[in-house]
Chain A
Amino acid sequence: MSEMSRLKFYCDEGRCIECDGCSIACAEAHELPAGINRRKVITLNEGKEGLEYSLSIACMHCNDAPCEQVCPVDCFYIREDGIVLHDKETCIGCAYCLYACPFGAPQFPREGAFGAKGAMDKCTMCAGGPLETNSEKERHIYGQNRISEGRVPVCAAMCSTKALLVGDAQEVSAIYRERVLARGHGVQTSPMTWSRAYGAK
């Protein structure tokens, strides 16, 4: 597989201002039920001078995705472009994937009197699911399929400061490199979250 076609997320902690434009856009676009947060913005050390940082987090669509490796019913599949998707109709809601995920991405609707978990839900990078592309059923179960229409995932499209980027790994890397060079300080060699999600390279 050529690296050219690998899609990755990157959130720039120097730019993220916790406006939640990404998470709201995601919820609106996919009409998520209350309590399901495919994407969320995490703020660390809120209010502490010089220590407060915010980062938008969702499924990072990892290399060798740990969720896929632990799934007992094998409902995950990884597309050629690196997008990690799963079949909700196969998923049994066991939440093994949640324990495996380093980013806390999998979401579970709570159903019934005892709060039984339903099928897992997570960020699809706006690429739908295993059903017929752009079918009514796909939209209903997995949300919009913007990738099939050549559109950027809605979170990054909405990002007010362009902190959240998504796209071809090399393009994203180039933008990251440009910003790091422009800032002219620090020796961080890869974006936060990348070493965990995508490995050392």
Chain B
Amino acid sequence: MANTWGYGAMTNSLGDIQNARSIIIFGANPAVNHPVGFAHFLKAKERNNAQIIVVDPVYTKTAAKADHFCQIRPGTDIPFMYGMLNIIFKNGWADESFINDRVYGMDLIKEEAKKWTPEKVADVTGVPADKLIQITTVYAKNSPGTLIWAMGLTQHTIGSSNTRLAPIVQLALGNMGKAGGGTNILRGHDNVQGATDMGCLSNSLPGYYGLADGSWKYFAKQWNVDYEWLKGQFQSPEWMNKNGFTLARWWAGVLDGKNGNDKIHNGKTGLKALFVMGNGITSVAQQAKIKEGLDNLELLVLADPFVNEAAVLTDKQDDVFLLPAATQFETEGSVTATNRSAQWRRKVVEPLYESKPDQEILFELSKRLGFYDQYTASMKDSSGKFTWPEDATREIARIIKTIGLTGWTPERLKKHTDNWHMFDQVSLRGYGEMKGEYYGLPWPCWTENHSGSPVLYNTNLSVKDGGMGFRNRFGLEHDGVSQLAAKGSAPKGSKVDGGYPEITRDNIEEVLKIKLTEEEKKKIGKNWKVDRSNIIAQKCMEAGIAPYGNAKARARVWTFPDEIPMHREPLHSPRQDLTKKYPAYVDKDNHFRVDTKYISKQTEQDWSKDFPINLVTGRLVNMNGAGMENRASKYLAALSPEMFCSINPDLAGQLGVRDGGMIWIHSPEGTKIKVKAKYSYSVSPDRVFLPFHFAGHFQGEDISHKYPKGTKPYAIGESANTVTNYGYDIITQIPETKGGLCRIERA
């Protein structure tokens, strides 16, 4: 996403889905994961006669509400989407003027799409050719169409190719930058967008500032800390700019390449301590490896309102600490919704018992580690005092220019939350006192009186009303082709009729056709991303110019191993014949500090022989993420008191498994789980579905006695992630939980 057009975020909003005439959903199950947001889908269907299309390996609750459904084989979204593009281009349904003016590299996509005839797609994906043609026709003919996805598209070794090809489908149809269109990625938890924006990533600083000296210097200055001091915190300066470990593979850092584990590149030491805040460990792939990692730590700290499963999974006896963290109701501050809107949350009660809100825990930690003063330096006033969380919010607004958080002052955010009834739920447009603003000021919100941007890349609005073109992020030209948007495709009211580069101190006068005063010249920052004076953004608003430029989206990402998305079979594929034709990537060394296997894993053996069944994981409606707090609620737990496996009666019958009988699920990792079989027609006989919310059993053994007294949840069971397979995305390292293999035996 970010590599296609600048930002990796949902482009429209949940409410805006009501404007769609067709809705195609890949690997997402909003009826289960976003039940309240799903009302907008249902209203689109009811009021707009929108056609809902679901492409999923499982007949989900969302599929039950769809007009069209196709049961795709896990990991074959790319052939499916190329199949759609094949039909779209062949029939002349593509929006050629949009492609010409605002997209780079579509010709390569057209070439690749030619290869994916409906018949070939049918062979690879398992979706009949006539179904593909029907779905494509419905989607292309009912415009605008919105494209929805979630983890079903991302959690693959080729996840980053999937999430590029989906935007390309939308670009081809001209569905971008308009109400009812867009690529709407549904974030899976409260404030995931906010956590990502704030840099809970090991490859960037907050606000997606890259790991580079320039960014560190900018942040050092904004944080009021000495850059040299910051540098001194690292083992040696070169580590400042290297990617860290990821959530998916931190355990490899602990295991340090021993006993045949993947080698690491981490300053000559393994990881020794793990500090977990609000991440249920049962939701992460490869539980057996995680257990090994936990067991080998020197220190394990778990800060959660409930007991994190990590405490139960590990055999570690000493130096395991449970810190009682407060819930969101016991603290205050802003959170960011899936559509980039902020919301202010007020404290409902004081933290119960000895629990503390996360920031208190981190402040105390920084005191013990000796950097509290630096940690809080930029929030403090001249007398050394600060107010939480307002001063933190101001710090964010002051520093984060890349995604336009300048307008997110605590005063404005509070006013929005207090007046939420004065906004339209479909357009997010405010009325009455809130006129001229969109609910939650969806970023980019360029200035302190900017309206917010409800739909990204919409050129039908002026920049000050939330309009913009695609971001100029990848240079001015590639292979001699200009990367700027064509003439006539600037946002409404723009001083420049066409593309323009991102705005810097050096080009502002030329692009905006203005003269800066000497005073302004003195104050202005080097470019829009580091312009603390905000003069660039101010001047841009006056000229109807987006500070980040107006460029073409790119279908071709020349820095990726596959310049255009290419199909590659999952590492563990049931179609061994296709792994030769569409092999995995070559192995990648030092991928977020860990050597990661691709082709060597895929070709290690014919996995499908011993493990013939596809394995898909997902969620249940009564559980959220790891289900840590939900399993501890008696009413929620009662809906799914134990772990189960959805299995087609045909498959079960062949294996002699009865409905409600126990089965062993074996994985290529050499791990196994014992779970209850639940007959279900939602899965075809070649695959099974596992919910991933359970913990307390491990490979057939009940380990729930390890919960501290009085904390054992009502629902316990095996973690699905004990049998998810090895496999990580080539760019992001997200684990492949949606396309593995397994073998099922009666227990």
- Residues of A in contact with B (beta carbons under 8 Å apart): 14-15, 17-21, 24, 27-28, 34, 46-49, 52-54, 160-162, 179, 182-184
- Assembly CA distance A46 to B47 (angstroms): 26
- Assembly CA distance A18 to B64 (angstroms): 11
Q: Which residue of B61, B63, B636 is within 8 Å of A18 (Cβ)?
A: B61
In the complex, the answer to whether A28 meets B635 with C-beta atoms within 8 Å is: yes
Q: Which residue of B38, B59, B680 is within 8 Å of A161 (Cβ)?
A: B38
Known: A46-B681, A47-B683. A160 touches B47 (CB 8 A): no
Residues in A neighbouring B32, C-beta threshold 8 A = 17, 19
In the complex, the answer to whether A182 meets B46 with C-beta atoms within 8 Å is: yes
In the complex, the answer to whether A160 meets B39 with C-beta atoms within 8 Å is: yes
In the complex, per-residue mask of B39-70: 1 if CB is within 8 Å of any chain A CB, else 0 = 10010011101000000000101111100010
Task: Give 13 pairs: A residue, B residue, CB < 8 Å, sorted on A.
Answer: A14-B46, A15-B39, A17-B62, A17-B64, A19-B31, A34-B638, A47-B682, A52-B59, A53-B64, A160-B38, A161-B36, A161-B38, A179-B46
- Assembly CA distance A138 to B38 (angstroms): 37
In the complex, the answer to whether A182 meets B31 with C-beta atoms within 8 Å is: no
Q: CB of B622 within 8 A of chain A?
A: yes
Q: How far is the CB of B50 from chain A (nearest CB, A)?
A: 11
- Assembly CA distance A21 to B65 (angstroms): 18
Residues in B neighbouring A161, C-beta threshold 8 A = 35-36, 38-39, 42
Q: How far is the CB of B647 from chain A (nearest CB, A)?
A: 11
In the complex, the answer to whether A27 meets B42 with C-beta atoms within 8 Å is: no
In the complex, the answer to whether A17 meets B46 with C-beta atoms within 8 Å is: no
Secondary structure call for the A interface? loop
Chain B residue nearest to A21 in the complex (CB): B35
In the complex, the answer to whether A49 meets B69 with C-beta atoms within 8 Å is: yes
Q: Which residue of A27, A52, A182 is within 8 Å of B635 (Cβ)?
A: A27
Q: Which residue of A20, A48, A160 is within 8 Å of B639 (Cβ)?
A: A20
Q: CB of B621 within 8 A of chain A?
A: yes
Residues in A neighbouring B634, C-beta threshold 8 A = 34
- Assembly CA distance A53 to B64 (angstroms): 7
Residues in A neighbouring B69, C-beta threshold 8 A = 49
Residues in B neighbouring A15, C-beta threshold 8 A = 39, 42
Total residue contacts A-B, CB cutoff 8 A = 68
Residues in A neighbouring B65, C-beta threshold 8 A = 14, 17
Residues in B neighbouring A46, C-beta threshold 8 A = 680-682
Q: Tell me the chain B residues, 501-539 only, with Cβ under 8 Å from chain A.
A: none
Residues in B neighbouring A52, C-beta threshold 8 A = 59, 64
In the complex, per-residue mask of B628-668: 1 if CB is within 8 Å of any chain A CB, else 0 = 00000011101100000010000000000000000000000
Tell me which of B38, B42, B63, B682 has the highest count of chain A C-beta atoms within 10 A of its own C-beta.
B42
Chain A residue nearest to B61 in the complex (CB): A17
Q: Residues of B within 8 Å of A, CB-based: how many?
A: 30
- Assembly CA distance A52 to B59 (angstroms): 10
Residues in B neighbouring A20, C-beta threshold 8 A = 621-622, 639
- Across chains A and B, which 6 residue pairs bring their CB atoms closest together, nearest first? A47-B682, A47-B681, A160-B35, A52-B64, A19-B35, A17-B31
Residues in B neighbouring A19, C-beta threshold 8 A = 31-32, 35, 621
Known: A47-B683, A49-B69, A52-B64. A24 touches B622 (CB 8 A): yes
Residues in B neighbouring A27, C-beta threshold 8 A = 635
Q: How far is the CB of B680 from chain A (nearest CB, A)?
A: 5
Chain B residue nearest to A160 in the complex (CB): B35
In the complex, the answer to whether A17 meets B622 with C-beta atoms within 8 Å is: no
Other A-B pairs beyond A17-B621, A46-B682, A54-B61, 14, CB < 8 Å: A17-B64, A18-B621, A19-B32, A27-B635, A28-B635, A46-B681, A47-B680, A49-B69, A52-B59, A160-B38, A162-B39, A182-B47, A183-B49, A184-B49
Q: How far is the CB of A164 from chain B (nearest CB, A)?
A: 12
- Residues of B in contact with A (beta carbons under 8 Å apart): 31-32, 35-36, 38-39, 42, 45-47, 49, 59, 61-65, 69, 621-622, 634-636, 638-639, 646, 680-683
Chain B residue nearest to A48 in the complex (CB): B681
Residues in B neighbouring A160, C-beta threshold 8 A = 35-36, 38-39
Q: How far is the CB of B501 from chain A (nearest CB, A)?
A: 45
- Assembly CA distance A19 to B622 (angstroms): 7
Residues in A neighbouring B45, C-beta threshold 8 A = 183
Q: How far is the CB of A122 from chain B (nearest CB, A)?
A: 18
Q: How far is the CB of B77 from chain A (nearest CB, A)?
A: 20
- Assembly CA distance A179 to B43 (angstroms): 9
Q: How far is the CB of B651 from chain A (nearest CB, A)?
A: 13
Q: How far is the CB of B384 from chain A (nearest CB, A)?
A: 46
Q: How far is the CB of A14 from chain B (nearest CB, A)?
A: 7
Q: How far is the CB of B329 from chain A (nearest CB, A)?
A: 16
Q: How far is the CB of A154 from chain B (nearest CB, A)?
A: 13
Chain A residue nearest to B39 in the complex (CB): A161
- Assembly CA distance A179 to B49 (angstroms): 11
Residues in A neighbouring B31, C-beta threshold 8 A = 17, 19
Q: How far is the CB of A17 from chain B (nearest CB, A)?
A: 4
Residues in A neighbouring B638, C-beta threshold 8 A = 34
- Assembly CA distance A162 to B38 (angstroms): 11
Residues in A neighbouring B36, C-beta threshold 8 A = 160-161
Q: How far is the CB of A56 from chain B (nearest CB, A)?
A: 13
Residues in A neighbouring B39, C-beta threshold 8 A = 15, 160-162
Tell me which of A17, A18, A20, A184 has the highest count of chain B C-beta atoms within 10 A of its own C-beta.
A17
In the complex, the answer to whether A183 meets B46 with C-beta atoms within 8 Å is: yes
In the complex, the answer to whether B59 meets A17 with C-beta atoms within 8 Å is: no
- Assembly CA distance A120 to B650 (angstroms): 41
- Assembly CA distance A21 to B646 (angstroms): 22
- Assembly CA distance A17 to B31 (angstroms): 6
Residues in B neighbouring A179, C-beta threshold 8 A = 46
Q: How far is the CB of B406 from chain A (nearest CB, A)?
A: 35
Residues in A neighbouring B682, C-beta threshold 8 A = 46-47
- Assembly CA distance A21 to B42 (angstroms): 17
Q: How far is the CB of B29 from chain A (nearest CB, A)?
A: 10
Chain B residue nearest to A26 in the complex (CB): B635
Q: How far is the CB of B18 from chain A (nearest CB, A)?
A: 12
Chain A residue nearest to B34 in the complex (CB): A160
In the complex, the answer to whether B63 meets A49 with C-beta atoms within 8 Å is: yes
- Assembly CA distance A178 to B46 (angstroms): 10
Q: How far is the CB of B625 from chain A (nearest CB, A)?
A: 16
Chain A residue nearest to B41 in the complex (CB): A161
Q: Which residue of A17, A53, A183 is within 8 Å of B38 (Cβ)?
A: A17
Residues in A neighbouring B621, C-beta threshold 8 A = 17-20
Chain A residue nearest to B37 in the complex (CB): A160
Q: How far is the CB of A121 from chain B (nearest CB, A)?
A: 16
Residues in B neighbouring A48, C-beta threshold 8 A = 59, 681
- Assembly CA distance A75 to B338 (angstroms): 51
- Assembly CA distance A20 to B47 (angstroms): 25
Residues in B neighbouring A183, C-beta threshold 8 A = 45-46, 49
Residues in A neighbouring B62, C-beta threshold 8 A = 17
Residues in B neighbouring A34, C-beta threshold 8 A = 634, 638
Q: Which residue of B59, B622, B639 is within 8 Å of A49 (Cβ)?
A: B59
Residues in A neighbouring B681, C-beta threshold 8 A = 46-48
- Assembly CA distance A161 to B44 (angstroms): 12
- Assembly CA distance A19 to B621 (angstroms): 6
- Assembly CA distance A46 to B678 (angstroms): 12
In the complex, the answer to whether A14 meets B42 with C-beta atoms within 8 Å is: yes
Chain B residue nearest to A52 in the complex (CB): B64
- Assembly CA distance A15 to B64 (angstroms): 10
Q: How far is the CB of B344 from chain A (nearest CB, A)?
A: 23
Q: How far is the CB of A11 from chain B (nearest CB, A)?
A: 13
Chain B residue nearest to A45 in the complex (CB): B681
Residues in A neighbouring B42, C-beta threshold 8 A = 14-15, 161
Residues in B neighbouring A17, C-beta threshold 8 A = 31-32, 35, 38, 61-62, 64-65, 621
Q: How far is the CB of B644 from chain A (nearest CB, A)?
A: 13
Residues in B neighbouring A162, C-beta threshold 8 A = 39
Known: A19-B35, A47-B683, A183-B46. A24 touches B635 (CB 8 A): yes
Residues in A neighbouring B622, C-beta threshold 8 A = 20, 24
- Assembly CA distance A19 to B60 (angstroms): 12
Residues in B neighbouring A49, C-beta threshold 8 A = 59, 63, 69
Tell me which of A21, A161, A184 has the highest count of chain B C-beta atoms within 10 A of its own C-beta.
A161
Chain B residue nearest to A185 in the complex (CB): B49
